[in-house]
């Protein structure tokens, strides 16, 4: 595996704004940032599959989704809409990933570190925070990062939406968050018509921030007999054109939604990447 694919590059100082950059420093332990070419492309199932793979390597896996929107309310909590807090809401994405990592999603204290900012409105974080009257509290994210620094061997961070999703009123984007953490990025994409443009734009945007792209993961890939020409060729052309290695191609389960456990096939698909990446991370720390 090329060092350029998984070793954090020099931090690009163009990120904005300065006050947020100062608060969110680089994460010094091994970790990966999972982004996607858009909303609902499959970032969570990829992160959960990676978590299960790293767990199979007997590692303590940390899960962090700094900002989640579209979160349902916990039963018997948050009955007064004017007083809803982050703790009154649940992030289904974090629950799935936590279970795969062997963490207890019912532990509310632990959930603060896995999902520090939760909003009910299904919109970009800046919009959800504005509508709900609860501004983005970067202190909660900083606290979560500090906690994981001491309590895991590998941290998986999941973005919300795509790379250019705005988070706060200072136009701080999801890509700015990744750049602050300086973690290698895994790009989750699809294989159908339009995937070349969407994937290359995302990869180039990440590289503009001087961040390494650790790999591509295709999600919801149809079986061989169901693939059209675009899907069949994109599986080859996108890694070739981007120069980013393909790490896994996860199958399309049709109408089934993965909500409770990661399929064994998905974990097996991610194992080679998890093993190779962890071996490289260990060599880097020697």
- Residues forming the active site: 65
Strand 185-189 and strand 61-64: the pairing is: unpaired
The neighbouring-strand residues paired with 251 are 221
- Contact yes or no for 174/136 (Cβ under 8 A): no
Nearest C-alpha neighbor of 160 from the set 69, 257, 31 = 69
Q: Is 122 exposed, middle or buried (0-12, 13-18, 19+ CB in 10 A)?
A: exposed
Cβ proximity of 278 and 30 under 8 Å: yes
Report the DSSP beta bridge partners of residue 30.
none
Q: Are 28 and 8 in contact (CB under 8 A)?
A: no
Question: In the structure encoding, which two tokens stand for residue 280, read together?
Answer: 């490289």
The Cα–Cα gap between 222 and 253 comes to: 8
Beta bridge partners of 92: none
Contact 62, 154 (CB under 8 A): yes
Q: Judge contact between 185 and 212, C-beta under 8 A.
A: yes
Tokens of 69: 């929107």
Structure-block tokens of residue 4: 């350029």
């Amino acid at each position: 595996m090329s060092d350029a694919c998984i070793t954090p590059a020099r931090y690009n100082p163009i990120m904005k704004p300065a006050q947020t950059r100062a608060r969110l420093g680089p994460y010094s332990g091994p970790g990966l940032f999972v982004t996607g070419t858009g909303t609902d492309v499959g970032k969570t199932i990829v992160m959960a599959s990676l978590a299960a793979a790293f767990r199979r390597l007997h590692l303590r896996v940390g899960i962090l989704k700094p900002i989640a929107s579209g979160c349902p309310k916990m039963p018997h909590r948050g009955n007064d809409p004017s007083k809803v807090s982050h703790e009154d809401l649940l992030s289904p994405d974090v629950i799935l990933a936590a279970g795969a990592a062997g963490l207890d999603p019912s532990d509310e204290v632990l959930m603060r570190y896995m999902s520090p900012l939760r909003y009910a409105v299904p919109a970009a974080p800046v919009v959800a925070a504005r509508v709900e009257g609860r501004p983005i509290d970067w202190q909660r994210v900083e606290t979560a990062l500090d906690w994981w620094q001491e309590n895991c061997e590998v941290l998986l961070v999941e973005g919300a939406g795509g790379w250019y999703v705005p988070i706060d009123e200072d136009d701080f984007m999801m890509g700015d968050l990744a750049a602050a953490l300086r973690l290698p990025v895994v790009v989750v994409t699809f294989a159908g018509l339009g995937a070349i443009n969407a994937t290359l734009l995302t990869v180039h945007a990440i590289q503009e921030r001087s961040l390494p792209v650790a790999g591509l993961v295709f999600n919801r890939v149809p079986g061989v007999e169901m693939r059209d020409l675009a899907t069949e060729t994109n599986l080859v052309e996108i890694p070739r054109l981007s120069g980013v290695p393909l790490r896994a191609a996860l199958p399309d389960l049709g109408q089934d939604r993965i909500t409770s456990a990661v399929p064994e096939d998905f974990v097996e698909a991610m194992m080679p990447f998890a093993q190779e990446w962890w071996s490289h991370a260990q060599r880097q720390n020697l």
